[in-house]
Chains A and B, each alone.
Chain A
Amino acid sequence: MIDFVAPTIDWAAVSPVLVVLAAGVLGVLLEALVPARARRSVQLVLTLGALAGALVAVALLWGRVQEAALSVVGGSYLLTPFGLGVQAVVVVCALLGVLVVADRPGGQDAFAPTAAAVPGSTYEEQARRAGLEQTEVYPLVLFATGGMMLFPATDDLVMLFIALEVLSLPLYVLCATARRRRLLSQEAAAKYFLLGSFASALLIFGVALLYGFAGSVRLGAIAEALAGQGASPLAGMDVLALAGVLLVVAGLLFKVGAAPFHAWTPDVYTGAPTPVTGFMAACTKAAAVGALVRFLFTLAEGMDAGTRHGVEVVLWTVALLTMVVGTVVGVVQTDIKRVLAYSSIAHAGFVLVALVGFSETGAAAVLFYLLAYGLATVGAFAVVTVVRERLTTPVPDAEHGAASAASDTLLGEATHLAQWAGVGRKAPWLTAAFALFLLSMAGIPLTAGFIAKFGAFSAAVDAGAWPLAVAGVVASAVAVFFYVRVIVLMVLTPPADELVPDGGAPDGGAPEAAGTDAGPDAGAAAHAVGGGAPTGTLTAAPAATRTVVTVVTTPGPAALVVALCAAGVLLLGLLPASVLDLAGQAAKFVP
Chain B
Amino acid sequence: MPITNYLVLAGILFAIGATTVMLRRNAIVVFMGVELMLNATNLAFVTFARIHGDLTGQVLAFFVMVVAAAEVVVGLAIIVTIFRTRRSASVDDVNLLKG
Contacts and interface: CB of A to CB of B under 8 A. Distances in A.
Contacts of A119: 85
A142 B68 CA distance: 21
Nearest to A209: B44
B31 A197 contact: yes
What interface size band does chain B fall in? 35 or more
Interface in B47-99: 47-48, 51-52, 54, 56-57, 60, 63-64, 67, 70-71, 74-75, 77-79, 81-82, 84-86, 91, 94-99
Interface string A66-105: 0000000000000000000000000000000000000000
Given A194-B91, A201-B34, A158 B97 contact: no
A270 interface: yes
B44 A176 contact: no
Contacts of B27: 190, 194
Contacts of A308: none
Interface in A184-227: 184, 186-191, 193-194, 197-198, 200-202, 204-205, 207-209, 211-212, 215-217
A172 B78 contact: yes
B57 to A, nearest CB: 6
A202 B7 CA distance: 16
A542 B38 CA distance: 55
Interface in A247-300: 263, 266-267, 270-271
A403 interface: no
Contact of B97 (A211, A233, A234, A270): A270
Given A161-B64, A190-B79, A204-B38, 8 more contacts: A161-B67, A165-B71, A176-B81, A186-B85, A194-B30, A194-B34, A202-B18, A232-B52
The 10 closest A-B pairs by CB, nearest first: A201-B37, A212-B48, A208-B44, A267-B97, A267-B99, A215-B52, A197-B34, A266-B99, A187-B94, A205-B41
22 contacts: A116-B81, A158-B63, A165-B70, A169-B70, A169-B74, A176-B78, A176-B81, A183-B85, A186-B85, A187-B94, A193-B78, A194-B34, A198-B21, A201-B18, A202-B18, A205-B44, A209-B44, A211-B56, A215-B48, A215-B52, A266-B99, A525-B85
